[in-house]
Amino acid sequence: MTSTFFLIALGFVIGLGGWALFLWAVRNGQFDDAEAPKYRMLDDDDEVRNKPKKKTVKKEK
Amino acid sequence: MQEVPASAAVTAVIDGKTRNFCCHGCLGAYELIHSESLDAFYKQRCDWQPGRPAFASVDAREFAGDIVTDGSTSRIELLLSGIRCASCVWLVEKVLGRLDGIVSARVNYATHRATIEWRTDSITLDTILKTLSGIGYLPRPVRHGTQVEAFSAEKRDLLLRFGTAGFFSMQLMLIIAALYAGFFQGIESTYRLAFQLISWALATPVLFYSGWPFISNAVRSMRNLALNMDVLVALGSLAAYFYSVAMIFTGGEVFFDTSAMIVTFILLGRFLEAGSRLKAGSALAALADLQPREALLVGENGQTSLAALERIGEGALIEVLPGDRVPLDGSVASGEADVDESMLTGESAPVMKSSGSKVYAGTCAITGRLRVRVSGDAKQTLLASIIRTVEEAQARKAPIQGMADRIAGWFVPAIILLAAASFAWWHLAGAPLVTALMNAVSVLVIACPCALGLATPLAILVGTTTLSRKGILVRGGDIFESVSRTTAVVLDKTGTITRGTPTLTDTFSCGATGNFMQCCASLEILSRHPAGRAIAEGWPGEILRVEEFRTIPGMGVSGMIEGQAWLAGSRALLEKENIAISDECLATSARLEASGKTTVFVSCDRKLTGLFGLIDELRDDAGRMIGALRSQGLRLMILTGDNAGVARYIAGKCGITEVCSGLDPIGKAEAVRKLKSGGETVLMAGDGINDAPALTEADTGVTFGTATGIAIESAGITIMNDDLELLGTLLAHSRKSFAVIRQNLAWAFGYNLIAVPLAITGILHPIVSALLMATSSLVVVSNSLRLRKI
């Protein structure tokens, strides 16, 4: 009995993590542009930048 | 940015002056020009300096309202015009990323929007904007409250609701599966109660967060007494929900899954629909972006000044610099330029524009400077009217969908009445309250509004999207429907089933000149007329130098070759010049014209030396297309403005018996009208301005991507790839799509007709009803998805 409910709760919490990730992704515009990201991997950062590398996450509220 | 090292600088001392060059190539070019004493070139060149002086007008103040400041950093979203491909995105991001003080820069390829974040203490917005315009991308403030913005906000909202519904529904199904098993095999009552309570908790957010749009819409529509699908969706899911809540306390079966699944499935449909509307909206916005928002106005004294389009009206004189887009429609007052009209015509080769030619807003002057006399304000441009037409088309529904909507309008209240009636009947007949309520809910749940609601729009969406991947753009559901009913196809000859450019077939030389062909080709190669090009292609060898070349408009060309005066053109030209034409040549020309050929006469030193026969041949793919159309059992007809000889020749060659020749634009429309009054549903394919009335008159007009803007505007369908066979594909696919729609509707109605009475009789448990309802929706959806294949 307890193990069943424990597993249900566990499954729910894991799912909740996925849901939270989804909400974060939608709010950050991760689903807005499906075209450019596939080309971004082809960009070479061949030159060392003068400044420390920054996180370049698009922030939107 | 890196400084150019001194060693890389290219300098040269020329005539005692030190001059700087960007590279050795330019230095070489300068030395060559200088040594030939052609320095005047540089003076001339300065006269039409390429570039975009309009960029000087980038003003940081325009953007002030869009800046979001957060302590030491600021962020802005702006629109970049000039983004053409993924490498533009790359360039902008890289260039900005290297500026000191930029925290992040991201460009959205689909919407052309850049989001830039910078540290306010190390860089100003002005510098950022200057950098952007310096590399050729004009930053503009984002226009708020636009259609596209509304669409993307709606899409994001639906995605959040759908994702949430999906998450909770998945958890819910896990629990419900256990309850189903318990229903059939028996289950301990504590487990059952616990599972029922968990599923209640899981279904609640789905219904009241994700399903909130349906509920609020249903309330609004009930207040307006116009019952729609949302009422049935809301009522069905709410009834299932509250019934299940009641069942928890009375010990019956719950079916929260029904209520959650109705909401989830319908949200998925709405989300997909919002996506396709957004895509259509952005395509339009991109088109509207082609039109500049300001123009160089030429003043009284010839000085130019930048002015907003709103201040420029008919009759004003504006200047278009090389590389700029034409801001307004008009005719060229002075200057010459190659103009890229591909956005209007699909023709990639630039068109030469000189004094008197018409230019259209949004087209791009590539090489020269033009002064244009404006013919109307910004709302009257061809571009604006194309945008309006497309906007109107998007709102149009297929008539069959109108029928489905009308029936649905009756369907919803009828189902509610039936549910109420069956509740009353069961209750009065002495059944316990629970049974009566269960049967009523069963009626509400089994009635499948989604199948009815999705049957038409989903099939049209899938069908037209599949076609658009092939390059066939359909302007609305009503047009798609009339294509599917086509019984007769009318084809324009020139440019549609023929190449539109003549080829050389016959050459007769009656003079003694040995290098006849070479001279003709040398003369005609300078001509811009398609016939001239065809003759020039007939000579693969060396081209002679032509002096005093002259074009006689509408007649032919003349020039001096090796001291002899050559003339090539129509019979009218030779008659005008009083050059005698021998009887033999007249007979030959008459014979050529009888077999549908155009003749070009050539004279040398006022003596007739020969003539050419040219023909506009059938396109290679025309035969296959006509075969495909005929195998679909369609009546075929050719319309043409050309003479009967040409028309008969072409018709005979492609095996079409019905031909109308010598028609003017109105005559073509008349011929189409006659076919229509004979009971045919007519599809007309054409591409010229002269086809526009007929394209409008026909039930469906089809143009090809290379067609003139006006033809595209009057046609319902545009085939972007210049491939005739797609016409057959279009007809076959539209027929298949509407067959699928009819199947869907037959299924949706048939299902409801059988299932609803069954539910009233109480044979079906609500759980079975819910399962049947979901299956019914799935049948419609998967049947529609068959249209993804052509």
Q: Which fold has domain B503-615?
A: Calcium-transporting ATPase, cytoplasmic domain N (3.40.1110)
**Cα torsion angle, B340, B344, B348, B349, sign:** negative
Q: Do A33 and B111 touch (CB under 8 A)?
A: yes
Which own/partner pairs from A13-21 qualify as long-range (CB within 8 Å, at least 24 positions apart)?
A: A15/B167, A15/B170, A15/B171, A18/B167, A19/B163, A19/B164, A19/B167
Of A15, A43, A60, the CB nearest to B171: A15
Specify whether the CB–CB gap between B453 and B408 falls below 8 A.
yes
For residues B445 and B76, which has the higher predicted lDDT (pLDDT)? B76
Nearest CA in chain B to A40: B90
As a whole number of angstroms, the distance between CA B232 and CA B25 comes to 74
**What was the pLDDT predicted at A58?**
46
Give me B682's structure tokens.
């007519």
Task: Please state the length of chain B.
Answer: 790
Give the CA distances from residue B440 to residues B211, B435, B447, B544, B605, in Å, rounded to whole numbers and listed in that order.
22, 9, 11, 93, 100
Give me B389's structure tokens.
């037409």
Between A and B, how many CB-CB pairs are < 8 A? 73
Most confident of A21-25, B84-88, B315-319, B437-441: A21-25
> pLDDT-derived band of residue B489, with 50, 70 and 90 as boundaries?
very high
pLDDT digits (tens, 9 = 90+) for B371-386: 899 888 777 777 776 6
Q: Do A26 and B159 touch (CB under 8 A)?
A: yes
pLDDT digits (tens, 9 = 90+) for B757-785: 888 888 887 667 767 877 787 788 788 88
As a whole number of angstroms, the distance between CA B766 and CA B253 comes to 9
Chain B contacts of A35, Cβ < 8 Å?
86, 109-110
Chain A contacts of B86, Cβ < 8 Å?
35-36, 39
Q: Is B15 a catalytic residue?
A: no
Q: Is the interface score ipTM higher than 0.95?
A: no
Specify whether the CB–CB gap between B165 and B260 falls below 8 A.
yes
Give me B285's structure tokens.
């916005």
- Mean per-residue pLDDT, B411-434: 85
H or E segment at B747?
Answer: helix B725-761
Q: Which fold has domain B463-499+618-731?
A: Rossmann fold (3.40.50)
**What was the pLDDT predicted at B133?**
79
CA dihedral B699, B701, B702, B703 (to 10 degrees): 180
Q: Any bridge partners for residue B508, and if so which?
A: B611
Give me B232's structure tokens.
């049935």
Q: Tell whether pTM > 0.80.
A: no
Chain B contacts of A60, Cβ < 8 Å?
115
Residue B459 pLDDT > 90, yes or no?
no
Q: Is B236 helix (H, G, I), strand (E, B) or coil?
A: helix
pLDDT digits (tens, 9 = 90+) for B277-296: 676 566 666 667 667 777 88
As a whole number of angstroms, the distance between CA B376 and CA B373 comes to 9
pLDDT digits (tens, 9 = 90+) for B204-229: 999 999 999 889 988 888 887 767 66
Residue B346 pLDDT > 60, yes or no?
no
> pLDDT-derived band of residue A10, with 50, 70 and 90 as boundaries?
very high
- Mean per-residue pLDDT, B76-101: 78
Give me B183's structure tokens.
């229903």
pLDDT over 70 for what percent of chain B?
A: 83
CATH number assigned to the domain with residue range B58-142, chosen from the 4 options 3.30.70.100, 3.40.50.1820, 1.10.340.30, 3.60.15.10 = 3.30.70.100
Contacts of B516 (CB under 8 A, 6+ apart): B509, B602, B609, B610
pLDDT digits (tens, 9 = 90+) for B3-33: 555 555 677 777 777 777 766 767 777 777 7
Q: Give the active site residue among B492, B687, B691, B699.
A: B492
Q: Do A35 and B86 touch (CB under 8 A)?
A: yes
Give me B755's structure tokens.
């299932």
Which own/partner pairs from B692-701 qualify as long-range (CB within 8 Å, at least 24 positions apart)?
A: B692/B665, B693/B665, B693/B666, B693/B668, B693/B669, B694/B490, B694/B492, B694/B639, B694/B665, B694/B668, B694/B669, B696/B669, B697/B669, B697/B672, B697/B673, B698/B490, B698/B672, B699/B482, B699/B485, B699/B486, B700/B479, B700/B482, B700/B483, B700/B486
Specify whether the CB–CB gap between B480 and B464 falls below 8 A.
yes
Q: Do B111 and A39 touch (CB under 8 A)?
A: no
**What was the pLDDT predicted at A59?**
43
Mean of the per-residue pLDDT values for chain B?
Answer: 79
Q: Domain B295-378 class?
A: mainly beta
